[in-house]
A and B are shown apart, each in its own frame.
Chain A
Amino acid sequence: MSWKLGLDQLTDLARGAALLGTGGGGDPLIGRLLVEQAIREHGPVTVLDPEELDDDAFVIPTAMMGAPTVMVEKIPSGAEPVAALRALEAHLGRTADATMPIECGGINSMIPLFVAARTGLPVVDADGMGRAFPELQMETFSVYGVPGTPMAIAGENGESVIIDTGGDNKRMEWISRGVTVRLGGSSLIAEYAMTGADVKRTAIPRTLSLALAVGRAIRQGRENHTDPVTVLRETLAGTIYTHLRVLFSGKVTDVERRTVEGFTRGRARFTGHDGHSTLELRFQNEHLVAVVDGDVVCIVPDLICVLEGDTAEPITTEGLRYGQRVTVVGISTPDLMRTPEALDVFGPSCFGLDHPFVPVERLVPEAP
């Protein structure tokens, strides 16, 4: 069941990861270039299905944290993510059998592939967010009892920092964020070290395959001159992200962003092609809630994705511009992300929203 990921799949994977970024997650582009270069030097990456993992296998996820805007300028040396992994191995006295994404949306879909190509370790086809989220404790790993720490952070000067906050993953987020600023605003990390049994229990399975399938569906829709959204819907129907609903089609008529506590918060308004109905999206790095003519139609943690009207290319909140023609879709998240425990960690109330979580397939019952 394991498979090889090669150069020719990376563009589709990056496109799919951008969609799963649900407006944020950072542009996967730099990540894709990093992985391309690493695969050219070291060969394809082995991707393991989570069911293939032995229960006592040892998995160390890797990721970048901080500002993607910094990373497009201060590109990593390339040694940092492996250094973070090695630092954590040394601290724990145990070597990893595989790495894994903590986040399948945006640039963090790519970092573990880079680590895998450079180290020869396999990468597990799963992650802990099932999308993109702004903070490190917003993980199904965390929800279901895997401690995030000890965690290792590495910078380009060869330095590494170990953070241990016991089981307090929120405090881990707080302290590591401060260290990352000292490292120049972006850093590479290894955290949530866990066993194969924990992966099978707490991770969202097959999200790398999902990103690849999603990116491919959009491309093939375009190439075959069929509606990419329709192809996307058919692709998702066979996965644990079962339901796709078209929430809105129209033009961007207003975008407002501001920085609050280090996050880009804001809202975007869209007007329908009929000129009457309106959609308002609220975001904090990622999209949080979509409201059409006063009614909530999709809310976090379900995915809200803004797609370019013709090509279905995902558009990030930073890329939203007045006048763009877009299709906004809602995608249901797996059950593991919708339990009361999960909603306590990354549900609407964690982002200051009053509205309770209601699954998108209930908010918009019929596929239009």
Chain B
Amino acid sequence: MRIGIDVGGTNTDAVLLDGSTVLAATKASTSRDVTTGIVQALDALRAQRAFQPGELTAVMIGTTHFINALVQARDLAPTAALRLGLPATASLPPMVDWPRRLVGAVSGRAYLAHGGHEFDGRHIAELNEAELRAHAADMAAHGVRSVAISSVFSPVSNEFELRAAEVLAAELGPDVALSLSHEIGRIGLLERENATIVNAALRELAAHIVDGLIRSLADYGITAPLYLSQNDGTLMDVEYARRYPVATFASGPTNSMRGAALLSGLGTCAVVDVGGTTSDVGVLSGGFPREATTEVSIAGIRTNFRMPDVVSIGIGGGSLVRETADGPTVGPDSVGYRLTEEALVFGGSTLTATDLAVAAGRADIGDPGAVARLDPTLVKAALDRIAVDVADIVERMRTSADPLPVVAVGGGSVLLPDDLPGAGGVHRPDHFAVANAIGAAIAQVGGEVDRVYAIGSGRREAVVDEARQEAVDRAIAAGADPAGVRIVDFDEVPVPYLPGNATRIRCKAVGDLQLPA
């Protein structure tokens, strides 16, 4: 048995799973301290289905806590960014393109030092340890508690980041956390560095949250290992989570999609997750979310995280419905968490999308009598509007002429009809409201490579094999069962204007978590 928990901004959802069978499921309010909400969720699961802590083999948690901390600029540690690349890169120092407010929130200090590699592994400049020690002394003098280290072309060679980390660790002592860019991002110095600085700023919070999670499970008598979900739908253990909190940033929509895949039995489908304020539409391919190809900006900071390609529209259960001369409109504004006070079916005076679903007999929520007198023409027109808008997004996300089944999840999915225009039947699996917690519970572990290779004549096969093997090795190192690791994503893009058929290869391997017997 395993437990999956999704700690969202509003709700904490939890499920108890045996294999892929849902034994119990619950939805509770998220607590300010995270851990209280988790204990409440465990209590609620136990009330539905008694279990002994010893029966659990793993607990998986997905949380938006870290991304929310960044967006709200709270609980961030005083952070320094050290970049190895001089004499190159001086024109755009670290955090140059950050919102000033966030630079202030992390007390951000930027340092440039010699080092870095060329695309082919040559050194731009040698590392200068005296220079690094001087920077370290300045960091210590300014109360820096976490450091992000980046080096030019570190995805090609991590040598300088590792050596600089040794020097800084010796100077600053064990209480200063070090985050290395080659472990966090891909090619694109500023974006990778940004992600690393954000990670560094979250390290103290990560330690605090992880300790809290471990403690609350231990207090519950649970000794099974704890994992956190990552952006790409794979898991990390708690030690990894302490060091890479930034890897949790997009786990919410990813878990929701992965859960939808399990519940519906469809590995390739569009998933529509209808919440209170928005509907998020993503596409699963082979059980994993398709990744966004564009850069992702979070709280005004450009990064190149692996994020799922999700399009959101402002239609949810709490969306306001208005009549206009051109027919009814739905959203994008929403009553949000005040749905249970303001919607007509809850005795309020605001016409919401949920009221439409109840009036049309699609849902049994609150008092159906309160919407009995709604004009059926209005109800139908507004629900049709929702169906057309959602169908349009689904259509846009399609990548081929092949039919793409649609799976609806989330509490607000009662708004959708049984057939979407142009997309066919809508799958509504059981337990659709807790798909995100299920997604957390079934997550796998993965490994990834993203690097520029020089492919000599006749060497392509060997280089491709090498990249694939490294991805597989990384997945196994992260805890995957070696028996079932497979490549789920492979992308090869030639780099123009470089000799030796320079080619950027991205490769991802995943496998089931190897659980202790």
Q: How far is the CB of A34 from chain B (nearest CB, A)?
A: 6
Structural contact, B496 and A77, CB atoms closer than 8 A: no
Chain A residue numbers with a CB within 8 Å of B397 are 323
Q: What mask results when residues 16 to 57 of chain A are scored 1 for a CB within 8 Å of chain B, else 0?
A: 000000000000001001101110000000000000000000
Alpha-carbon separation in the docked complex, A185 to B152 (Å) = 13
A262 on the interface (CB 8 Å rule)?
Answer: yes
Comparing A6-14, A62-70, A203-211, the segment that makes contact with chain B is A62-70
B73 on the interface (CB 8 Å rule)?
Answer: no
Structural contact, A264 and B494, CB atoms closer than 8 A: yes
Chain B residue numbers with a CB within 8 Å of A70 are 119, 495, 498
Structural contact, A67 and B496, CB atoms closer than 8 A: yes
Structural contact, B499 and A157, CB atoms closer than 8 A: no
Q: For residue A259, which residue of chain B has the nearest CB?
A: B494
A174 on the interface (CB 8 Å rule)?
Answer: no
Given the known interface contacts A73-B188, A181-B498, A184-B122, the answer about A37 and B87 at a Cβ–Cβ threshold of 8 Å is no
Q: How far is the CB of A245 from chain B (nearest CB, A)?
A: 25
Chain B residue numbers with a CB within 8 Å of A134 are 496
Chain B residue numbers with a CB within 8 Å of A145 are none
Q: What mask results when residues 156 to 182 of chain B are scored 1 for a CB within 8 Å of chain A, else 0?
A: 000000000000000000000000000
A74 on the interface (CB 8 Å rule)?
Answer: yes
A363 on the interface (CB 8 Å rule)?
Answer: no
Chain B residue numbers with a CB within 8 Å of A74 are 85, 88-89, 116, 118-119, 124, 152-153, 189
B18 on the interface (CB 8 Å rule)?
Answer: no
Q: Pick from A77, A185, A257: contact of B498, CB below 8 A.
A: A185
A 261-294 contacts with B by CB, 8 A: 262-264, 271, 275, 285
Structural contact, A33 and B87, CB atoms closer than 8 A: no
Q: How far is the CB of A226 from chain B (nearest CB, A)?
A: 18
Given the known interface contacts A156-B124, A264-B494, the answer about A73 and B97 at a Cβ–Cβ threshold of 8 Å is no
Alpha-carbon separation in the docked complex, A251 to B122 (Å) = 41
Given the known interface contacts A73-B152, A321-B293, the answer about A67 and B88 at a Cβ–Cβ threshold of 8 Å is no
A243 on the interface (CB 8 Å rule)?
Answer: no
B401 on the interface (CB 8 Å rule)?
Answer: yes
B90 on the interface (CB 8 Å rule)?
Answer: yes
Alpha-carbon separation in the docked complex, A217 to B480 (Å) = 51
Alpha-carbon separation in the docked complex, A228 to B103 (Å) = 35
Given the known interface contacts A156-B87, A264-B496, A325-B396, the answer about A73 and B187 at a Cβ–Cβ threshold of 8 Å is yes
Chain A residue numbers with a CB within 8 Å of B86 are 77
A-side interface residues, number (CB < 8 Å): 47
Chain B residue numbers with a CB within 8 Å of A79 are 87, 90
Given the known interface contacts A185-B118, A185-B497, A322-B399, the answer about A73 and B124 at a Cβ–Cβ threshold of 8 Å is no
Given the known interface contacts A69-B495, A74-B152, A325-B396, the answer about A37 and B118 at a Cβ–Cβ threshold of 8 Å is no
B141 on the interface (CB 8 Å rule)?
Answer: no
Q: Pick from A65, A184, A318: contact of B118, CB below 8 A.
A: A184
Structural contact, A181 and B499, CB atoms closer than 8 A: yes
Q: For residue B86, which residue of chain A has the nearest CB?
A: A77
B92 on the interface (CB 8 Å rule)?
Answer: yes
**Residue from A37, A65, A74, A323 with most neighbouring chain B CB atoms (10 Å):** A74
B96 on the interface (CB 8 Å rule)?
Answer: yes
Structural contact, B88 and A262, CB atoms closer than 8 A: no
Q: What mask results when residues 87 to 129 of chain B are scored 1 for a CB within 8 Å of chain A, else 0?
A: 1111110001100000000000000000010111010110000
Q: Pick from B90, B189, B399: contact of A77, CB below 8 A.
A: B90
Alpha-carbon separation in the docked complex, A33 to B396 (Å) = 32
A201 on the interface (CB 8 Å rule)?
Answer: no
Q: How far is the CB of A279 from chain B (nearest CB, A)?
A: 16
Alpha-carbon separation in the docked complex, A5 to B95 (Å) = 24
B 354-379 contacts with A by CB, 8 A: none
26 of the cross-chain contacts (CB-CB < 8 Å) are: A33-B97, A67-B496, A69-B187, A72-B188, A74-B88, A74-B124, A74-B189, A75-B85, A75-B91, A75-B190, A76-B89, A76-B91, A77-B91, A78-B91, A79-B90, A156-B87, A156-B88, A156-B124, A177-B497, A184-B119, A185-B119, A185-B497, A186-B497, A259-B494, A259-B503, A263-B497
Q: Which 9 A-B pairs give the minimum distances between C-beta atoms?
A: A323-B399, A78-B91, A259-B494, A67-B497, A156-B88, A184-B118, A75-B89, A264-B496, A77-B90
Q: Which residues of A approach B to under 8 Å, CB–CB?
A: 30, 33-34, 36-38, 65-70, 72-79, 134, 156-158, 177, 180-181, 184-186, 251, 253, 257-259, 262-264, 271, 275, 285, 318-319, 321-323, 325
Known: A66-B498, A185-B502; 20 extra A-B contacts, CB below 8 A, are A33-B92, A37-B91, A37-B92, A65-B497, A69-B452, A69-B498, A69-B504, A70-B495, A72-B190, A73-B119, A73-B152, A75-B88, A76-B88, A77-B89, A184-B122, A184-B124, A185-B120, A319-B294, A322-B399, A323-B397
Q: Which residues of B approach A to under 8 Å, CB–CB?
A: 85-92, 96-97, 116, 118-120, 122, 124-125, 152-153, 187-190, 293-294, 396-401, 452, 493-499, 501-504
